[in-house]
Copies of this chain bind each other. A is one copy, B any other.
């Protein structure tokens, strides 16, 4: 998924790869260009009748596209098994945007009681970040694992692992993938050049491996469902291409939108601390960042009262929609209050700050509470590995 060129002057340039997200992301164009399918009513109904309900991230379109979710639902409807796989690149602390796919993954695990492989790509972040030492990536991975465990995954059904720890298991599968991927293919998918290092071009094989691991271990095809932020799709586009050649089922994918940065950027940035609320921020820091956030508001309160705001281009509304307003009704009330000019950005931000800081206090407490359980989460023996 290389950077997009403009087809004509009216189409803005944007880029969505694991190594660059920039510009105003056009989700419809992503769907067209990469052959995703939209998550339609029929699929949501099928999922609802299997799961008992639907998560707001699905009904509100934060998860906006999929690959072969229908195939996975066929399997589940027939009583077949599947497992979940998602991940995190431990380049720094976790921010709110990272949690979107994890929250849906937890919901899926709760509903279907299935295994989850949670990959921490310490190898990738070391390879990608010029100044990062491997020991730093490994330490940060453990920090991130605390945030993941704090979300309440089932410790018996969830294996959180660093690539460098599980490499003995991943490597043989990764080799099979790597043998089927040429340099041309990964260059095209990730926008790599001959100046890219040989570790990063190999890495996609390591990210593919967990999508095939249960099939490999059990010696029979076990379908895998991967909820992810859409910038990670290129890894799985390649993994899906090689899967049939290796006798594995193609992983099914659920794509989430990328929460924009608090300053309006295409993606929250770990390198600009003002761009995101991190799980390790103090409530005060979080409040300050949110109060300074980019919104869809007007330059002045008077204009806002007269013309209304634009919640569809607003980082603050996006936070409410994705994670901080459980009630559909109240979310719609907030939207209407914004567009009608009744709700001023200052108020709206203060209300978000209230909810985010409350979440942070609770999350940080849980994050400490799971510290003693981390060994259980990270013990591959429970999966027979």
Q: How many residues of A contact B (CB 8 A)?
A: 35
Secondary structure at chain A's binding surface: helix, strand, loop or mixed?
helix
Q: Determine whether A32 belongs to the interface, using a CB cutoff of 8 Å to chain B.
A: no
Interchain CA distance A194-B197 in the complex, whole Å: 14
Q: Encode A169-191 as 1/0 by CB contact (under 8 A) with B.
A: 00110111011111110110000
Q: Which of A10-18, A198-206, A289-297 lies at the interface?
A: A198-206
Complex contact B198–A186 (CB within 8 A): yes
A372 at the interface (CB under 8 A from B): no
- Which listed residue (B179, B186, B192, B194) contacts A187, Cβ 8 A? B194
Interchain CB contact under 8 A, A181 and B197 = yes
Q: Does A134 contact B (CB under 8 A)?
A: yes
How far in angstroms is the closest Cβ of chain B from A167?
A: 5
Copies in the assembly, this chain: 2
Contact status A197-B180, CB under 8 Å: yes
Interface status of A126 (Cβ within 8 A of chain B):
yes
Q: Which residues of B contact A172 (CB under 8 A)?
A: 134, 164
Contact partners of A7 in chain B: CB under 8 A: none
Which A residues from 229 to 268 make CB contacts under 8 A with B? none
Whether a CB of chain B sits under 8 angstroms from the CB of A6 is no
- Complexed CA–CA distance, A178 and B178 (Å): 15
CB-CB under 8 A from A186, the residues of chain B are: 198
Binary B-proximity of A199-229 (CB < 8 A = 1, otherwise 0): 1111011000000000000000000000000
Question: Which residues from B are CB-within-8-Å of A167?
Answer: 167-168, 171
Q: Is the CB of A127 within 8 A of B175?
A: yes
Query: Are the C-beta atoms of A202 and B195 separated by less than 8 Å?
Result: no
* Complex Cα–Cα for A83 and B371 (A): 41
Tell me the bound Cα distance from A187 to B199 in angstroms: 14
* Nearest chain B CB to A380 CB, angstrom units: 12
Q: Is A196 an interface residue (CB 8 A)?
A: yes
A163 to B: closest C-beta gap in Å: 8
Answer yes or no: A123 CB below 8 A from chain B CBs. yes
> Which residues of chain B have C-beta atoms less than 8 A from A182's C-beta?
194-198
How distant is the Cα of A126 from the Cα of B164 in the complex, in angstroms? 22
Pair A197/B171 contact, Cβ less than 8 Å: no
In contact, A197 and B176 (Cβ under 8 angstroms): no
Q: How far is the CB of A202 from chain B (nearest CB, A)?
A: 4
Which of A179, A195, A196, A201 gathers the greatest number of chain B CB atoms within 10 Å? A179
The answer to whether A198 and B199 have CB atoms under 8 Å apart is no
Which B residues are CB-close (under 8 A) to A180? 197
The 5 tightest CB contacts between A and B, nearest first, are A178-B199, A202-B202, A184-B194, A183-B194, A167-B171
Other A-B pairs beyond A123-B171, A183-B198, A184-B194, 5, CB < 8 Å: A127-B178, A164-B175, A182-B194, A183-B192, A198-B204
* A interface residues, Cβ below 8 angstroms from B: 123, 126-127, 134, 164-165, 167-168, 171-172, 174-176, 178-184, 186-187, 192-202, 204-205
- Name 22 interchain pairs, CB-CB below 8 A, sorted by A: A127-B175, A127-B179, A134-B172, A165-B168, A167-B167, A167-B168, A171-B171, A174-B199, A175-B199, A178-B197, A179-B197, A180-B197, A182-B194, A183-B193, A183-B194, A183-B195, A183-B201, A184-B194, A184-B195, A186-B198, A198-B202, A201-B202
